[in-house]
């Protein structure tokens, strides 16, 4: 019986590497997987899943109006697994449609993404993944300033922390830092 997974972690926790590893393992066994990602993240190009260590793969770009259930239902052969990168950018409808993929099509779905944004608020996709996922796992990394577990993302502009602004601003290490709670509130310490 298929299950719906949400694997979340802070920036630099290895979420994309995990997707690429899982895809490789399935494909080594001759099982086809479908990799999907949000069309919002264009750092490596639209429809490209790319890790910070240089590995990347083509993926299906999910737009706001993409009917993911219909897309997957039409696939022949049926995939053994759906892997989603940048799942925090999914809409409520996408998350519910992926739950239907698991329940009605019996295809496992593994969604990977951030849980909370730089304001320490849930992303829409993360909120509904936390509500609907059968299994929720944290992928851990450490704070950039100490050895504690990073649970938050600090947005910076010119090296200074920013706590207000638009929720979505695409960026990498130049913009976001994985931090623990203490250093989220007091990064100068």
First to last CA, the chain: 48
Point out the catalytic residue in the list 27, 63, 73, 86. Answer: 86
Task: Give the residues across from 137 on adjacent strands.
Answer: 7
Q: Is 174 among the catalytic positions? A: no
Q: Which pair of structure tokens corresponds to residue 175?
A: 């913009």
- Return the ∠ at Cα 41 (arms to 36 and 42), rounded to 5°: 105
Q: Are 16 and 50 in contact (CB under 8 A)?
A: yes
Dist CA 7 CA 130 (whole Å): 10
Active-site positions read: 86
């Amino acid at each position: 019986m298929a299950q719906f997974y949400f694997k979340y972690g802070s920036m630099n926790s290895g979420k994309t590497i995990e997707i690429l590893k899982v895809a490789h393992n399935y494909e080594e066994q001759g099982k086809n997987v479908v990799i999907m990602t949000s069309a919002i993240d264009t750092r490596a190009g639209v429809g490209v899943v790319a890790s910070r260590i240089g590995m990347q793969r083509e993926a299906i770009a999910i737009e706001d109006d993409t009917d993911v259930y219909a897309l997957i239902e039409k696939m022949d052969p049926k995939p053994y697994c759906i892997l989603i990168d940048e799942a925090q950018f999914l809409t409520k409808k996408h998350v519910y449609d992926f739950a239907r993929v698991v329940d009605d099509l019996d295809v496992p779905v593994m969604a990977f993404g951030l849980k909370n944004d730089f304001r320490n608020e849930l992303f829409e996709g993360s909120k509904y993944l936390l509500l609907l996922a059968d299994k929720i796992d944290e992928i851990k990394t450490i704070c950039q300033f100490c050895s504690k577990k990073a649970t938050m993302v600090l947005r910076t502009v010119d090296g200074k922390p920013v706590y207000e602004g638009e929720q979505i601003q695409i960026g990498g290490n130049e913009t976001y830092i994985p931090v623990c709670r203490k250093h989220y509130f007091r990064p100068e310490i």
